[in-house]
Structure 1
């Protein structure tokens, strides 16, 4: 039943769930109070009936000789004195030592084995339920105070049971009315309580239809719904920022891709024209043709590198590798080996101390490769690129890459980590302007920072810092 009930519950609306929960809570409270009240009334009636039997039995047992003739004691005028008598139960009788009925009311009571033991002095008292003429009685048997024998008194339980039945029916009707009222009240409370949620839902649906992320959801009050509205507004702002960033990336990428594609298309059209019209081959000497092919190869390589960098820059969080504790020294060694093969004219020196950070090893290696590539590109032939890895005074990992190139102009320093930004001195050199942007993004994704500055007397210093693992 648990599975079908869970499925049924999940198909209910929030309004229905709240209504059912309120109704169930009130129903539990009402039924609990009704059950306690019924049990209390039933116990009180039993105690009252038992107290009446005890009182009547003591009254008869205290003066057994005056009750053996079948009635209450005689008064001064010789008549039965009823003023000193309680309302003795409708059935009573006096038993002798041999358990024979000596006197009693007109309707006799059964002499049970327990009553015989009390009359014979073998038991102090006996209380039991007996059936007389098809009706249930509570009968009490106690010893007589003088002369031996026993006294039996009994009270009909029918009136008490009928009272309990009527009371139970009234309680059941009250429970039904209370639960019904709770159901109606629950729906009203749920409807009133969900008004802010409905308003928030409508506002979010309007945003989904209009795609207007600049229109915040209205917030009223300081309750949980207001907090939810603030969270929605924060989410909308983040989505809008991501969309703006994506639009900027697409626009910048299309601009940057247009230049190499145009150059490649022009060169290919020239080669195709010579192939289609051999008489024009003299216009493209073999050395020019070879140079043109080399340019095509370089442009295709530049386009491939740009495409790879764009993919890395636009990588979503969901497709990233899992983070782990990474020995940054191993990452630095692997990145330096890769760049050293590509740029054999530059010397790479290191001063690496063991440092562990929590991150993604492949992304960290790509980041360091980009820093080293940039340093090697600006270093003169025979120049030295130095990599230092240590822990600073705050316990953060500190990775420093220095080169001996011309350095970065002061006007360009604030923009070197922007996407597609290329300084005036770099526009004649290969590159996409994305390498340092990827460095900045990777550092930020790992909770770190990156800065660039001059390396005196000449060159550039790039410093990357990561929090400790």
Structure 2
């Protein structure tokens, strides 16, 4: 079932339930009102009870052979009349039928007899006599009788029957209208989804990530617009990632070609000149080994840059994030740098600072900053390191970075013209930026007063120590 059909069905079902509830309440209220009026009329009705002496031949004058007869009646004593019919039942169980043509006996049970004897309170009930639906009120009469006052429910039943039909028609019309409106609403609601689907299908078919979902100049702040904006942002991120990947592959191919070409040339030369002097052979082998080491470092840097921007968030990974002392991590990195560059003087001013991150990757980033400072420091130069509130600064006193090169020093494989003759792959500072981004931090290069270069790595501080 399509999403549009779900909207139509759900809207129709919601309207049907609402109409059914409203119709039920309406029917109950109307029925109660109709019956309440009938019940009040029954309670107010006062039947005429008369006692006469009647001769056997019908003469109403009292005589020797006359008998005592009780008569009970209300105006129009038939079941079809609006005023109803009355019947008296004596405590002995004798029933006095209502007067008038078309009269019929109302049912008498123990409850009616108990009312005649005064042991049961008055009550209302529904009965059906000769196919006529009646509402009957039973109460005690003035002379120990049980008076049953009945009124037909024909008109009320007819009214309720018409009401049921009308409510059913209203429900059917309401459901049909809700279904029609649901179709219109579903088309309007799914229009952004249709555009999103069309764009996704086009991107899938063509592989072109430049496609975007069109949005108005001043888009409203609603869910479809935010979805379209998020989808466009996702496409832009994918496009940038793909372009960066292609650029990385192109740059890596170019950088890998140089050491591979040198290694192959040395190996071919060794193969074609087996009688080379030992000194030349050793020099060529040393050059090949050096190129292999550069190639190993380059491949390792490329692997680091290819890792996703995660900081070991999943449990069970080799190097999960942890709360660590940034000042201690920097001091350990400086000690390693001292062993590799004994001619460089390192000074450290570190305040206790706690950050959350991956120890190995942060150590690599700080080490790359120190290696870059050593590379640009003059012989016997000094490198100043400071740790303060999640910030690590490394300053050297070398020639500094030219102003045009400052925005590009953290790009992959970027090497300033003055660095073309120095060893390195151009990936060290790119790795620093990669690690900083993965930890929610930043890195920047500055030209401090007095010359040299200052690298600043900013990380979110977790807690004051």
TM-score of the superposition, structure 2-length normalised?
0.81
On the 8 A contact 1:329/1:352 being kept in 2, the answer is yes
Per-residue deviation, 1:31: 0.9
Q: Classify 1:378/1:178 alpha carbon distance in 2 versus 1 (closer, same or farther; 3 Å).
A: closer
* Cα deviation digits, residues 422-441 of structure 1 (max 9, x gap): 23443222111111222233
Out of 88, 108, 112, the residue aligned to residue 109 of structure 2 is: 112
Per-residue deviation, 1:442: 2.4
Alignment match, 1:32 = 21
On the 8 A contact 1:99/1:116 being kept in 2, the answer is yes
Out of 151, 168, 174, the residue aligned to residue 164 of structure 2 is: 168
Alignment match, 1:77 = none
Q: Distance in 2 between matches of 1:46 and 1:95?
A: 25
Per-residue deviation, 1:361: 2.4
Out of 413, 416, 438, the residue aligned to residue 420 of structure 1 is: 413
Q: Classify 1:132/1:234 alpha carbon distance in 2 versus 1 (closer, same or farther; 3 Å).
A: same
Q: Distance in 1 between matches of 2:188 and 2:453?
A: 65
Out of 83, 88, 92, the residue aligned to residue 88 of structure 1 is: 83
Out of 335, 348, 355, the residue aligned to residue 357 of structure 1 is: 355
Q: Distance in 1 between matches of 2:429 and 2:334?
A: 17
Q: Distance in 2 between matches of 1:42 and 1:465?
A: 77
Per-residue deviation, 1:309: 1.3
Asked if 1:431 is matched to 2:424, the reply is: yes
Where do 1:63-462 residues align within 5 Å?
63-65=48-50, 70=71, 87-89=82-84, 91-96=85-90, 98-102=92-96, 104-105=98-99, 106-130=103-127, 132=129, 137-145=134-142, 147-157=143-153, 160-161=156-157, 164-165=160-161, 167-220=163-216, 222=220, 223-275=222-274, 281=275, 284-317=276-309, 323-380=321-378, 382-391=380-389, 397-409=390-402, 412-453=405-446, 459-462=452-455
Per-residue deviation, 1:345: 4.3
Worse overlay, 290-299 or 400-409? 400-409
Worse overlay, 199-208 or 368-377? 199-208
* Cα deviation digits, residues 172-206 of structure 1 (max 9, x gap): 35434432443343223312432343233223422
Per-residue deviation, 1:23: 0.9
Per-residue deviation, 1:376: 2.5
Asked if 1:45 is matched to 2:30, the reply is: no
On the 8 A contact 2:343/2:380 being kept in 1, the answer is yes
Q: Secondary structure of the equivalent of 1:233?
A: helix
Per-residue deviation, 1:286: 0.6
Q: Secondary structure of the equivalent of 2:43?
A: helix
Per-residue deviation, 1:325: 3.2
Asked if 1:465 is matched to 2:452, the reply is: no
Q: Secondary structure of the equivalent of 2:461?
A: coil
Asked if 1:20 is matched to 2:9, the reply is: yes
* Pairs aligned (count): 431
Per-residue deviation, 1:225: 2.7
Q: Distance in 2 between matches of 1:298 and 1:248?
A: 26
The answer to which structure has the higher helix fraction is 1
Per-residue deviation, 1:136: 5.5
Worse overlay, 360-369 or 192-201? 192-201
Q: Distance in 2 between matches of 1:433 and 1:135?
A: 104
Per-residue deviation, 1:234: 2.3
Q: Distance in 2 between matches of 1:206 and 1:342?
A: 55
Q: Distance in 2 between matches of 1:318 and 1:399?
A: 21
Q: What 5-or-longer segments of structure 2 have no aligned partner?
A: 53-68, 314-319
Worse overlay, 452-461 or 255-264? 452-461
Q: Distance in 2 between matches of 1:414 and 1:33?
A: 69
On the 8 A contact 1:403/1:455 being kept in 2, the answer is no
Q: Distance in 2 between matches of 1:408 and 1:184?
A: 70
